């Protein structure tokens, strides 16, 4: 096993992207994800890659569009307000079926909001982020090592399905330092991309990458085909972690930093004899409906722990077809629930079902 190094989550994303063969990064600084750009600025010139600080987030995402069209692994990163600026570009990438990795290290909103951690871009990320019918694959890491692993996975999924993947992290995940192993990351090489605009060499027809489609019948077919692909992804690429769910009366749903906090609360509640478990979605889209549906067969109630005003809770309700009550346990605006708050929510829900 290779030596571990001590990294911030943001650095782990950058290092893993390079390990995954991403040689092109375009971005614009914003707290709390600036270390990604800082790392790229230091390392890319030394390995013959491209680091470019664009004049805006909008410019950066369109540079991503350019490199993705040429078939190369490419990434941009930002935090919440900056990702909103990229919204148009995300839609164009989807409309052109281009693979790319987008990183959102979320901060409190709406508006310019604050700089402390948040998960309040869940709706934006899982519902596409821009206009039109489309999805992104949304990955939610809960450790610095997972920041690295899901970055690699994000590139691979993006290439496999010709679509954008997003790492949806938060300020804490970006800033916290943990030991990681980058050398040990397994990377599948990028697949052939016969659609890429790399020059015809006078030996093939022109490849055209475009999201404009003025014939409604054709545009409808494009949408149908895209959604057939999304169905394959929902069937094959759903990821989640279960913790003590098998006998649970109460099941917590939480991702990212909220899942780490919730895990502590689960252990504390178990000491008090309350049967609690945790389902941690790792893919937020596709949402892991199956484990929730299964848990609803024995669990009497669910709690959604989030750093927002209640967004994932809707997907939990949909997944269990509203068969059980789902309670929200949350903080917002850059605040993080502590294990005691989650434990109190567990006790309260337990009182209601006992």
Cα diameter, the chain: 74
Pick from 7, 94, 138, 152: which binds other proteins (CB under 8 A)?
Answer: 7
Asked if 49 is part of the footprint of other proteins (rule: CB under 8 A), the reply reads no
Taking the complex as a whole, the smallest distance from the CB of residue 153 to other proteins amounts, in Å, to 20
178 counts as binding other proteins under rule CB under 8 A: yes
Q: Is 42 in the site for other proteins (CB under 8 A)?
A: yes
Helices of type H across the chain: 9-19, 34-43, 57-69, 80-85, 87-95, 122-126, 144-161, 171-175, 216-236, 256-271, 289-295, 312-319, 339-353
Query: Contact with other proteins (CB under 8 A): which of 77, 143, 172, 327?
Result: 172
The single residue among 116, 120, 145, 151 that binds other proteins, judged by CB under 8 A, is: 116
- Minimal distance, residue 327 CB to other proteins, in Å: 22
52 φ/ψ sector (left φ>0, alpha ψ -120 to 50, else beta): beta
The yes or no reply on residue 286 touching other proteins (CB under 8 A) is no
Secondary structure (3-state) at 217? helix
Among 110, 131, 177, 353, contact with other proteins (rule: CB under 8 A)? 177
Q: Which stretch binds other proteins (CB under 8 A): 154-162, 174-182, 203-211, 220-228?
A: 174-182
- Minimum CB separation from other proteins for residue 179, in Å? 4
Closer CB to other proteins, residue 156 or residue 170? 170
| Structure tokens that stand for 145 in this block | 């090592």
Q: Rg for the chain (alpha carbons), in Å?
A: 21
| One of 16, 22, 28, 32 touching other proteins (CB under 8 A) | 32
Strand 137-139 relative to strand 24-27, pairing: unpaired
Q: Counting beta carbons within 10 angstroms of the beta carbon of residue 204, is it exposed (0 to 12), middle (13 to 18) or buried (19 or more)? A: exposed
Length of the chain: 354
Q: Which is nearer to other proteins, 245 or 259 (CB)?
A: 259
Beta strands at 5-8 and 177-180: parallel, antiparallel or unpaired: antiparallel
* Short-list 46, 45, 36, 38, CA closest to 14: 36
334 binds other proteins (CB under 8 A): yes
**Residues 83, 237, 120: CA angle, nearest 5 degrees:** 30
Q: Which residues are registered as beta bridge partners of 270?
A: none
| Residue 4 binds other proteins (CB under 8 A) | yes
Pick the stretch among 4-12, 94-102, 215-223, 283-291 that binds other proteins (CB under 8 A). 4-12
Q: Is 72 in the site for other proteins (CB under 8 A)?
A: no
* Residue 36 is a binding residue for other proteins (CB under 8 A): no
Residue selected from 25, 39, 92, 255 as contacting other proteins according to rule CB under 8 A: 39
Q: Which residues bind other proteins (CB under 8 A)?
A: 3-8, 11, 15, 31-32, 35, 39, 42-43, 108, 114-116, 171-172, 175-179, 182, 257, 260-261, 334, 336
């Amino acid at each position: 096993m290779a030596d571990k190094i001590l990294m911030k989550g943001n650095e782990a994303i950058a290092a893993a992207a390079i390990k995954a063969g991403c040689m092109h990064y375009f971005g614009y600084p914003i707290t709390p994800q600036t270390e990604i750009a800082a790392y790229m600025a230091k390392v890319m010139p030394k390995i013959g890659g491209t680091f470019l600080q664009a004049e805006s987030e909008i410019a950066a995402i369109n540079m991503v569009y350019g490199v993705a069209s040429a078939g190369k692994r490419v990434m941009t990163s930002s935090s919440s307000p900056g990702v909103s600026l990229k919204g148009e570009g995300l839609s164009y990438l989807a409309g052109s079926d281009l693979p790319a990795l987008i990183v959102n290290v979320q901060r409190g909103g709406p508006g310019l909001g604050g700089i402390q951690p948040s998960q309040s871009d869940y709706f934006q990320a899982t519902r596409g982020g821009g206009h039109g019918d489309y999805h992104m694959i949304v990955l939610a890491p809960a450790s610095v090592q997972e920041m690295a692993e899901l970055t690699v996975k994000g590139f691979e999924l993006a290439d496999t399905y010709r679509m954008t993947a997003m790492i949806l992290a938060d300020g804490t995940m970006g800033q916290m330092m943990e030991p990681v192993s980058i050398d040990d990351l397994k990377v599948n090489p990028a697949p052939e991309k016969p659609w890429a605009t790399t020059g015809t060499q006078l030996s093939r027809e022109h490849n055209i990458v475009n999201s404009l489609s003025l014939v409604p019948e054709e545009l409808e077919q494009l949408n149908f085909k895209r959604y057939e692909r999304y169905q394959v992804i929902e069937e094959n690429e759903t990821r989640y972690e279960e913790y003590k769910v098998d006998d649970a009366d109460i099941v917590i749903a939480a991702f990212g930093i909220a899942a780490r906090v919730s895990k502590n609360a689960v252990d504390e509640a178990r000491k008090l004899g309350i049967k609690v478990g945790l389902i941690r979605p790792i893919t937020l889209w596709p949402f892991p409906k199956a484990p929730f549906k299964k848990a609803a067969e024995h669990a009497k109630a669910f709690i959604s722990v989030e750093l927002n005003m209640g967004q994932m809770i809707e997907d939990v309700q949909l997944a269990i077809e509203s068969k059980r009550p789902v309670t929200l346990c949350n903080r917002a605006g850059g605040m993080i629930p502590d294990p005691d708050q989650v434990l109190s929510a567990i006790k309260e829900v337990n009182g209601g079902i006992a």
